[in-house]
Amino acid sequence: MSKRILIVDDAAFMRMMIKDILTKNNFEVVGEAADGAQAVEKYMELKPDLVTMDITMPEMDGIAALKAIKEKDPSATIIMCSAMGQQAMVIDAIQAGAKDFIVKPFQADRVVEAIQKALG
């Protein structure tokens, strides 16, 4: 059975890029969210196997959403997506329980490798 993934990014084209990479690699994208608040809501509703979470978003950023999801479900598997130069935020995210991070612009093989590693 394919792994179920929730994609969180405020940029629709970024969600589309990730979705394209994932579906080509036999992952099932079960939902998408455009901000952290939506991410928490969709996570609780869909219970995906993994979440790809953008760091910088309006309303609630990725780190706040990561913490909120981890609070509700400590076993949640979340990978952060960051732009270059966001090292401090990435460190915060890892300390808050993120499994890994992928850097934009995305390289398909790195995305797939990070997801497979995180899902163990």
Nearest to 62 by CA among 108, 104, 3, 28: 104
Cross-sheet strand order for the sheet of 50-54: 28-33, 4-8, 50-54, 78-82, 100-103
Q: Please, are residues 73 and 51 in contact by the beta-carbon 8 Å criterion?
A: no
Please indicate whether residue 83 or residue 117 has the higher confidence score (pLDDT).
117
User: Looking at residue 90, what is its pLDDT?
Assistant: 87
With tokens 């969210």, the residue in question is 33
Q: What is the pTM of this model?
A: 0.94
Structure tokens at 101: 């991070």
Please indicate whether residue 89 or residue 113 has the higher confidence score (pLDDT).
113
pLDDT tens, residue by residue, 38-59: 999 999 999 999 999 999 998 8
